[in-house]
Amino acid sequence: MNYQMLTADAALAAYCTKAAQAPYLALDTEFIRTNTLLPKLGLVQLNDGDSVVLVDPLCIKDWQPLAELLANPAVLKLVHSCTEDLEALASVGIEQITPLLDTQLAAEVIGWGGSMGYARLVEQMLGVVVDKTESRTDWLARPLAETQLQYAANDVVYLLQLTPALLAALPGERARDILLAEGRSLIERRQRQMPAALKYLELKNSWQFAPRELAILRTFCAWRCQYAEEKDLALSLVIKDALLYELARRKPQTMEALSQVEGMQGRELRRHGQLWLQFIREAKALAPVELPQTFYHLDSFPGYKQVQQQLSDAIKAAATAAGIPAEILSVKRQLNEYLNWCWRVTDEERQQLPLPEFLGGWRRDILLPYLPVPPQVQALI
């Protein structure tokens, strides 16, 4: 199928008006993500079954028509492994995409295995071998070569072609309902933001630190998040985790001491040194009741291992009753999220955090009758 480049607001608006009449819209993006917090959008590919278009974000100023199309409840949006696509579209202000069906998740519901790549799915369903030669293109460069543009267009061509057979292979209407509910969850998950004051909870090595050190990490992580958003910088370019850990452990009090911290660079010292020393002084002055609680390995909590086994059994039982693979109901990230929410945060922090995915949306309805609920969180469920 031929494609059309859209480089003007009026052309995009006209296409969106036409595509609003279609039952399906295949959607993909190309982007670059190197030093920025958000991906830089290079192309948006759309296929309404009648025509394929490649939208050039470097030319478009008015994204409202596309935002309205992607939020149109009458048009099912088809994507494949779309987490980063959602981030890329959010960079131009498009947040609501509904209804949304991820073909990677559909393949998993059918039982074809988790995390099936797009090329493998296309080859399995259409017998087409996707040429990945152009996958590492600099999508912000202009002009893009014909081979690069055709590669981008093919993504939504094949995506729409394979969808009817994929939907027909789903094990019943409930499976489709779950996929659409999971599409809503994907959007909600992207929009759920950890409060800046709790960003330190995301650090992998937080269990290694005492409460006073955690207070330093809490302040630095909140500042890093805000600064990264203001400057559109990757978190690691603001301050690396390893340097955060050293600052928390060593607690330097002077510019000279700060300059001796392993990993400290002269540019960081000159730009942020005095502010960082202030953060450390403020954390050291906190009363004990104002400090975060010590983190521990989950398995050090009384009853944790029993709850972990109960949770694993509950997921299997709930998945069997619902007729879906357990991998759809729960992945490791969701399991750990629930366990951390139950065991590793204070009551006050738990009130500020979003509910774990196990306790929201379609998963709650399926899991709650089976889910072990520790006493400390029963009032919140």
Query: Which of these three, 131, 159, 191, is where a domain ends?
Result: 191
- The answer on pLDDT for 328 being more than 80 is yes
Q: What CATH number is associated with residue 86?
A: 3.30.420.10
Q: How many CA atoms lie within 13 A of 169 on its CB side?
A: 15
Is residue 224 classed as helix, strand or coil in its secondary structure?
A: helix
Q: Higher pLDDT residue, 101 or 111?
A: 101
Q: Which residue has the tokens 């139950």?
A: 342
pLDDT at 344: 78
Look-up: residue for tokens 């629930």?
338
Residues of the domain holding 322:
298-380
Q: In the β-sheet with 3-6, what is the strand arrangement from edge to edge?
A: 3-6, 52-55, 40-47, 24-32, 76-79, 100-102
Exposure string over 355-364, b if 16+ CB within 10 A, otherwise e: bbbbbebbbe
Q: Match 């893009």 to its residue by tokens.
A: 144
Q: Is residue 169 within 8 Å of residue 110, measured between CB atoms?
A: yes
Calpha distance 187→203 (Å, rounded): 24
Q: Of all helices (H) and strands (E), which one includes residue 12?
A: helix 9-19
Co-location of 183 and 206 in the same domain: no
Known catalytic residues are 28, 30, 85, 151, 155
User: Is 17 found in the same domain as 160?
Assistant: yes
Segment 354-374 shows an average pLDDT of 88
* pLDDT score at 271: 96
Q: Nearest CA to 42 among 140, 137, 156? A: 140
How many domains are contained in the chain?
Answer: 3
According to the model, what pLDDT value does residue 190 have? Answer: 84
Among 260, 290, 320, the domain-final residue is 290
First to last CA, the chain: 51
Residues 102 and 234 in one domain: no
Q: How far is C-alpha 40 from the chain's CA centre?
A: 16
Tell me the β-bridge partners of 337.
none
Question: Taking the model in full, what pTM does it have?
Answer: 0.89
Confidence check: pLDDT of 305 > 80 = no
Residue 182: pLDDT band (50, 70, 90) is very high
Same domain, 315 and 276: no
Residues 312 and 234 in one domain: no
Residue 111, pLDDT > 80, answer yes
Among the candidates 191, 224, 253, a domain finishes at 191
User: Nearest 5 degrees, angle CA 227-CA 230-CA 235?
Assistant: 45
- Calculate mean pLDDT across residues 119-133: 94
β-sheet bridge partners, residue 47: 26, 52
Residue 47 has pLDDT above 70, yes or no: yes
Q: Are 294 and 211 in contact (CB under 8 A)?
A: yes
Alpha-carbon separation of residue 344 from 62, 294, 323, 347, 348 (angstroms): 45, 9, 32, 10, 12
Same domain, 215 and 320: no
Percentage above 70 pLDDT, the chain? 98
Of 69, 87, 76, 77, the residue nearest 31 (C-alpha): 87
Cβ neighbors of 3 (< 8 A, separation 6 or more) are 51, 52, 53, 54, 149, 150, 153
Domain holding 331: CATH number?
1.10.150.80
